[in-house]
Amino acid sequence: MEHRESKKKKQKHQHPNDQTTKPSSNLSFKPSSDVKGLRFGGQFVVKSFTVRRAKPLELLRLLSLPPTKLQFPSTLAYLPTNFTILAHHAWHTLTLGLGTKKSKVVLFVFESENLKAWVDRVWPNEIPLGEVNRRFIRGLTGCEVARFKFRKGCVTFYVYAVKREGNLGFSCGDDLRTILQSVVELKDFLDHTAMLAMPEQRSISYSTTPVAVAH
């Protein structure tokens, strides 16, 4: 009886971040108006920090994938700008450690290249993080979206799978599966200042113990 109660107590107090979730188990599409967007907590100043559209090779390097012909034509990725990376460090210093140093990376995987091409024409190359929810996610009218969130040390990955409302399946499922698996397998980023060197960077520092959490 005591063993059973202690087991229940342990499960009750287990933090959800201690669990590793398989990517395929979270594939739940919702209307773009209902899906969760980026989260900022009390760090409102971060909303003014900008992200920029990544080049194909930058995305491969970030995901630790070899520079092959696999360029993810169905995917748009937004990385922190140089200003954002430096601003995070300055904000953290000015607030005596209370301000977050964590940057956000946002990836959109579309069900088809045609859908991605349509978005390509209307989405800007650079945007404040605080505008991503309104202009990008809520702007996907007529679409359904599945959201994945992974904390990787000082970088938080948001991955959104996007398909036309009512469509069954996901045509570019291979791209989505590869990206999600690659993010899961990434080790924690210890310092995201290496992104300042993209796309010429040759290495990124990681911790020795992998931590993968999806939400």
In a domain, 162, yes or no: yes
Q: For residue 153, what are the CA distances in angstroms to 26, 157, 179, 187, 214?
A: 21, 10, 18, 8, 13
Q: Return the residue matching tokens 């520079």.
A: 67
pLDDT in tens, 80-114: 988 877 776 676 667 666 656 678 999 999 999 99
CA 180 – CA 171 distance, rounded (Å): 16
Q: What is the DSSP string of 17-76?
A: GG----GGGG---EETTTS-----TT-GGGGG-EEEEPPHHHHHHHTT--SSS---TTEE
* Token pair listed for 131: 């505008």
CA 47 – CA 91 distance, rounded (Å): 13
Structure confidence at residue 95 (pLDDT) = 67
Structure confidence at residue 212 (pLDDT) = 40
pLDDT in tens, 144-182: 999 999 999 888 999 999 999 988 889 899 999 999 999
Of the two residues 182 and 1, the one the predictor is more confident about is: 182
In a domain, 182, yes or no: yes
Least confident of 35-39, 123-127, 141-145, 206-210: 206-210
Per the structure, the count of domains in the chain is 1
In a domain, 10, yes or no: no
In a domain, 171, yes or no: yes
In a domain, 145, yes or no: yes
In a domain, 2, yes or no: no
In a domain, 209, yes or no: no
pLDDT at 12 over 50: no
Q: Return the residue matching tokens 């899906």.
A: 35
In a domain, 98, yes or no: yes
pLDDT in tens, 24-69: 334 689 999 999 999 988 777 788 889 999 988 889 988 988 887 5
Which residue range is the domain that position 45 belongs to? 18-197
Whether 159 and 147 have beta carbons less than 8 Å apart is answered as yes
Structure confidence at residue 203 (pLDDT) = 38
Report the pLDDT averaged over residues 203-215.
40
